[in-house]
Amino acid sequence: MYNTDIPTRAELPTTRQLLRSTAIAFVAAVGILITIVLPAEYAIDPTGIGRALQLTEMGEIKTQLAQEAEADRIRDEQAPAAPATPAPAMPAPDQRSSLLGSVVAELFIGQARAQAASRSDETVITLKPGEGIEYKLTMKAGGKVNFSWAAEGGVVNYDMHGVPTSGSKEKSYKQGRGVASDEGVLTAEGDGGQGWFFRNRGKADVTVRLKTTGAYTEIKRMV
């Protein structure tokens, strides 16, 4: 019988090579985590790639279902005692899930719970010719909101702005002229109102449909 030869010391990988391979694997895992796992599982999409791949919508649906399940549980606890009815068994975790998914659930559980407390709104804004309207979200510093808006019947000028950490004076995050739509992530640089000012410079009415999902307590039109 022939046994495989034991490799010599020169054939073994060096410490530097092992560290390099480990670093490459770690970077790849973090990339998959941020661009695929977080958007698809928890609707956390810091890069915007998840929404482009339609993974963030999956995460939003899962988050909403989790919120509804928690609300049902609280309602059942507060209801008067009644004959016990077996609850449907929750599906067992897929045994084929990758190790990365398990690591994500443990490392980012706090962030996932915070995201589960977010809210979603669709706001319809009608602008007459020459009219400008401002809507703001009430947010905490560091909060994130996924947004998208589209103008129907024309284009608009807009200014996305909010309160920075350096003071109470508003800061413009992004501007545009003659734009039909936009989407992305709004990150609050300070506590207070964060939002958009839209103006219709056309000769016909324009309707803007603004969709927001994330860490804010209310959305309101500014006078």
Residue 193 pLDDT > 60: yes
- pLDDT-derived band at 210 (thresholds 50, 70, 90) equals very high
Q: Is the pLDDT of residue 84 over 60?
A: no
| pLDDT band, very low/low/confident/very high, at 103 (cuts 50, 70, 90) | very low
pLDDT tier at 170, thresholds 50, 70, 90: confident
DSSP codes joined into one string, 125-157: EEE-TT-EEEEEEEE-TT-EEEEEEEEESS-EE
Nearest to 208 by CA among 157, 129, 152: 152
Residue 96 has pLDDT above 70, yes or no: no
Domain span(s) for CATH 2.60.120.380 in the chain: 119-222
- Mean pLDDT for 43-66 is 78
Q: What is the pLDDT of residues 175-188, one digit of tens each?
A: 999 999 999 999 99
In CATH, the architecture of 119-222 is Sandwich (2.60)
| pLDDT surpasses 90 at 209 | yes
Torsion sign, CA atoms 60, 61, 65, 66: negative
Answer positive or negative: Cα dihedral of 13, 14, 16, 19: positive
Burial label, 149 (beta-carbon count in 10 A; 0-12, 13-18, 19+): buried
- How far apart are alpha carbons 77 and 137 in whole angstroms? 33
Average pLDDT, the chain: 81
CB of 54 within 8 A of CB of 73? no
Question: If residue 194 lies in a helix (H) or strand (E), which one and from where to where?
Answer: strand 192-199
pLDDT band for position 88 (50/70/90)? Answer: low
What is the pLDDT at residue 173?
95
User: How large is the average pLDDT for residues 6-16?
Assistant: 72
The confidence score (pLDDT) of residue 112 equals 47
Residue predicted with more confidence, 204 or 10? 204
**What confidence score (pLDDT) does residue 32 get?**
85
Q: Is the pLDDT of residue 104 over 70?
A: no
What pLDDT score was predicted for residue 79?
Answer: 60
